[in-house]
Amino acid sequence: MKEFKRFFLYLISLTTITTYLSVLYALDLNDFISIEVTITGVSQYADFDNVSSEDGSRIDDTIRGATSIDIGANFHPTENDEFQVTYSFAEGEAINGIEAFTLAPFADDLEEDLSDINGSGRYNLLEAWYKHVFPFSDNNFLAITLGIIGSTGFIDDNEYANDEISQFMNDVFVNNTLANLPDYDSGSAVELYVGSWSLKGVVMNSENDSDNHYNYYAIQIGRHITNTLGDGNYRIYGYRTDKEFLDASDTKNERLSGIGISIDQQLNDTVGVFARAATQSDDAAIDHDEMISFGLNIMGTNWNRPNDSIGIGMGYLNGAKNSGIKDTVAAEAYYQYLLTDNIDMSIDAQWIKDSIEDDDNPEGLLLGLRVNLSI
């Protein structure tokens, strides 16, 4: 009960501080330079079953928070050229710091993620890239991006489930967790748009938890359609590493490969649906070899809040053969409320359960508040 009371006190403090920050003014920059700043505060309360701390003691309930600041600077000297640098600073780990589940309850880059990023010795710098666009005609173009990039900006995108800052918080609803999509590593990306079709590809060099460097390749074919229901996007992609990825025993190298789909479709002016599915070879060091997630997005038009939204998602992941995991299930619902043009607040609820072979099955009900200030 004490933890629950602390949770609501933290929510009140967080909302008050973020509302006060809204008086900040963005810098007036010229036509070639733009700067975006997002301040995010998160508080999560967790009611656990079968979850233990590092010393082996049981954790029944707890409250954890995190704050992050993302700063992006973009220089676009021409219509077809742009340079982007993105920094992030964070304090706290929220419920992620307990490492209770195979899925992260908050998919944002938090304090530990920003330290020695991917074993590179780099801190806080997430992206630094150059992009050039070769236009063919209206909305038909080829774009090439080089530098420190994120593959999630190109592969497995989704209109309703792709942004941990403003949509779902659990990482299974942000991206396909099977694909091990690398972010903030050196690489290149190619995007080709022709009519309603798109073709995207990334090549990156990354590092796994055992300090093995490997090359990562992914390609995605997508189509945007407009029908009587509304707009929809349908994508299929494949990914593969070289043989420098590790096998399930972490003792020798093994290739990781798999395929996935990502779909979003309007049903009418207020309701949209999304779905993901993926499968991959389970010889590599992975937790799951199959996944499916799906859900709804509902805009607040019917209650005169057209800029508000509700998200509801369900996810199932099948454990890989050598992972010791039978399966993982997750459910999440959130309500995003727009306070001002610069501030939004989301109330979030999650349920997560891992079924573990010959062990306890960690389970948790999580309540959260997320507040964003964008300037």
Q: How confident is the model at residue 320 (pLDDT cuts 50, 70, 90)?
A: confident
Question: To the nearest whole percent, how much of the chain has pLDDT over 70?
Answer: 90
- Whole-number pLDDT of residue 26: 45
Mean pLDDT, residues 204-217 taken together: 81
How long, in residues, is the chain?
A: 375
Mean pLDDT, residues 307-311 taken together: 96
What value does the mean pLDDT of the chain take? 88
Is the predicted pLDDT of residue 174 greater than 90, yes or no? yes
Q: How confident is the model at residue 253 (pLDDT cuts 50, 70, 90)?
A: confident
- Whole-number pLDDT of residue 206: 87
Q: How confident is the model at residue 359 (pLDDT cuts 50, 70, 90)?
A: confident
Is the predicted pLDDT of residue 2 greater than 60, yes or no? no
Is the predicted pLDDT of residue 262 greater than 70, yes or no? yes
Angle CA 266–268–270, to nearest 5: 90
- The amino acid present at 170, given as its one-letter code, is N
Q: How confident is the model at residue 293 (pLDDT cuts 50, 70, 90)?
A: very high
- Whole-number pLDDT of residue 24: 39
Based on the structure, what is the number of domains in the chain?
Answer: 1
Q: Which residue has the higher pLDDT, 283 or 233?
A: 233
Q: How confident is the model at residue 250 (pLDDT cuts 50, 70, 90)?
A: low
Mean pLDDT, residues 311-333 taken together: 93
- Whole-number pLDDT of residue 214: 87
Q: How confident is the model at residue 116 (pLDDT cuts 50, 70, 90)?
A: confident
- Whole-number pLDDT of residue 17: 45
Mean pLDDT, residues 315-342 taken together: 93
Q: Which residue has the higher pLDDT, 120 or 158?
A: 158
Mean pLDDT, residues 167-189 taken together: 94
Comparing 39-43, 205-209, 323-327, 346-350, which segment has the lowest mean pLDDT? 205-209
- Whole-number pLDDT of residue 5: 47
Q: Which residue has the higher pLDDT, 323 or 372?
A: 372
* pTM (2 d.p.): 0.87
Is the predicted pLDDT of residue 284 greater than 80, yes or no? no
Each residue's pLDDT tens digit, 66-107: 999 999 999 999 999 999 999 999 999 999 999 899 999 999
Mean pLDDT, residues 111-140 taken together: 91
Q: Which residue has the higher pLDDT, 23 or 327?
A: 327
Show the domain range for 88.
Answer: 2-374
Q: Return the CATH number at 277.
A: 2.40.160.10
